[in-house]
Amino acid sequence: MILSTVHADKPSLSHTDGQNNHRPSDAEDPPGCLSQRFRQRFFHDVPDAVWNDWKWQFRNRITTVEHLAQFIPLDPSEQERLKFVISRYPFSITPHYLSLIDPDDPDDPVRRQAVPSCEETALAGIGDEDPLAEQEHSVVPGLVHRYPDRALMVLTNLCPVLCRHCTRKREWRHGKCVRTDADIALMIDYIRQTPDIRDVIISGGDSLTLSTGRLETVLKNLRAISHVEIIRIGTRFPVVLPQRIDEELCAMLSKYGPIWINTHFNHPREITPEAAAACDRLLRSGIPLNNQSVLLRGVNDSVAIQTKLCHELLKIKVRPYYLFQTDDVEGTEHLRTSIETGIAIIAGMRGYTSGLAVPTFVIDLPGGGGKVPLQPEYVIAASPNEYIFRNYEGSVFRCRNPRPDTGAEDVHSVIPLSR
């Protein structure tokens, strides 16, 4: 039964209005088209076999302003300002990821994620170096144990692309760092001696920067611990260097399942044919893929871009899992949106597209308070006997609330009421 229609809390970001003005071309550009043009313009002498060699991609990362200026127009004063920024927050971009940037668009959504901005230092007084208090919860160097049944391993601070919105930007100051075998042994020992830990998350810096053999040793040691039920790997390689996901890596990973991989796609343009093929190889190796994206100003802060991103993810069989409110990290303020923006985006997706395509919008509470899901309010009123809801269109519905002591069979008489 529809009681009435309310409009007051409809999403403020409609499918056609949003803060991100890149929608039309993003929606129309065939995947890989921009990258092909970029390669023809700047890397025409690099054969496919070399371009698709992940070690070549890794060795040829762009890490200096002078090198970057060969691809993206940067006037001399901007170059000087960026040199100051990277003395604090270095950068690194793979040729593959660089090829997804429109060099002539200063507001390009891929560029905003990878190319340093003067705003990083101009707004550096805002935010915190370690808003999630990870250092406080480190039980041994590189191992965070904050929740009873989960532990987070950070094996390196190296990443092929240094995302400008990274929560662990503080780690970049220490130069390139890979945990020693002795450090890793301490982490494994702690996990072995803590039977409550059933879920180990290996997260960024990106552990796939380790050699396949070294990563295998870590996984083998974890798998030998009987109470470790699942291993999760958070990686941006499928996005920024998909060539790394080769048959050798997939064959190795398939030996130590259940392994779950969390990818980090933030924009539909990142879902290139190479990224799709990398995800397919992982899926065929028995590894489920979930995507954790970060809500970023000028990148994906509109209903249209988020919907397109999630549709494209589902087409390559990656489940949109979380959409994160950007953590309150020093040097990222220019990329953060209001919390209301995220809630409005979810309101603009829920009901308008498949539930499978709607991620859970979450905020990681400062100080290690954990994740809290945020969603539009659908409950208008509640009593012991009845709930009153609004649906995604603003129509109002009443649902009888079963008495607490009624049996499960009564649930079926509650929903739905006829419209």
CB of 89 to ligand SF4, least distance (A): 10
Could you say whether residue 166 binds ligand SF4 (CB under 6 A)? yes
- Is 199 among the catalytic positions? no
Q: Are 311 and 348 in contact (CB under 8 A)?
A: no
Print the binding letters for residues 190-219 with ligand SF4: x by CB under 6 A, - otherwise.
--------------xxx-------------
Question: Could you give the CA distance from residue 61 to residue 260 in angstroms, rounded to a whole number?
Answer: 28
CB of 351 to ligand SF4, least distance (A): 31
Among 68, 152, 162, 318, binds ligand SF4 (CB under 6 A): 162
Among 68, 159, 200, 289, binds ligand SF4 (CB under 6 A): 159
Choose, from 112, 130, 164, 166, the residue flagged as catalytic.
166
- Is 177 among the catalytic positions? no
Q: What is the 3-state secondary structure (H, E, C) of 99-154?
A: CCCCCCCCCCHHHHHHCCCCHHHHCCCCCECCCCCCCCCEEECCEECCCCCEEEEE
- Is 147 among the catalytic positions? yes
Q: What angle do CA 212, 215, 219 make, to 5 degrees?
A: 130
Choose, from 10, 81, 146, 214, the residue flagged as catalytic.
146
- Is 150 among the catalytic positions? yes
CB of 263 to ligand SF4, least distance (A): 10
Could you say whether residue 163 binds ligand SF4 (CB under 6 A)? yes
Question: Could you give the CA distance from residue 39 to residue 240 in angstroms, rounded to a whole number?
Answer: 15
Considering only the stretches 14-22, 160-168, 373-381, 398-406, report the one whose residues sit in contact with ligand SF4 under the rule CB under 6 A: 160-168
Helix ranges (DSSP H) in 12-74? 23-28, 33-42, 48-51, 54-59, 65-68
CB of 265 to ligand SF4, least distance (A): 12
CB of 240 to ligand SF4, least distance (A): 7
Question: Could you give the CA distance from residue 16 to residue 79 in angstroms, rounded to a whole number?
Answer: 36
- Strands of 131-288 (E only): list them: 138-140, 143-144, 150-154, 199-203, 230-234, 259-263
Residue 233 main-chain phi, psi, to 5 deg: -120, 125
What residue number has its CB nearest to ligand SF4?
204
Could you say whether residue 236 binds ligand SF4 (CB under 6 A)? yes
Choose, from 179, 327, 336, 390, the residue flagged as catalytic.
327
- Is 163 among the catalytic positions? yes
Choose, from 10, 88, 150, 223, the residue flagged as catalytic.
150
Here the tokens at position 375 are 């969603």
According to DSSP, the β-strands at 360-365 and 370-373 are antiparallel
- Is 387 among the catalytic positions? no
According to DSSP, the β-strands at 138-140 and 2-5 are unpaired
- Is 364 among the catalytic positions? yes
- Is 88 among the catalytic positions? no
Q: Which is nearer to ligand SF4, 35 or 203 (CB)?
A: 203
Q: Which is nearer to ligand SF4, 113 or 341 (CB)?
A: 113
CB of 236 to ligand SF4, least distance (A): 4
Question: Could you give the CA distance from residue 285 to residue 301 in angstroms, rounded to a whole number?
Answer: 33
Q: Give the CA distances from residue 241 to residues 13, 21, 187, 342, 364, in Å, rounded to whole numbers and listed in that order.
A: 33, 27, 28, 28, 27
Q: Which is nearer to ligand SF4, 159 or 318 (CB)?
A: 159
Q: Which is nearer to ligand SF4, 11 or 238 (CB)?
A: 238
Q: Quick count: other Cβ atoms within 10 Å of Cβ 115?
A: 21
- Is 246 among the catalytic positions? no
In the complex, the residues that contact ligand SF4 under the rule CB under 6 A are: 159, 162-163, 166, 168, 204-206, 236
Q: Which residues belong to the active site?
A: 146-147, 150, 159, 163, 166, 168, 327, 364, 371
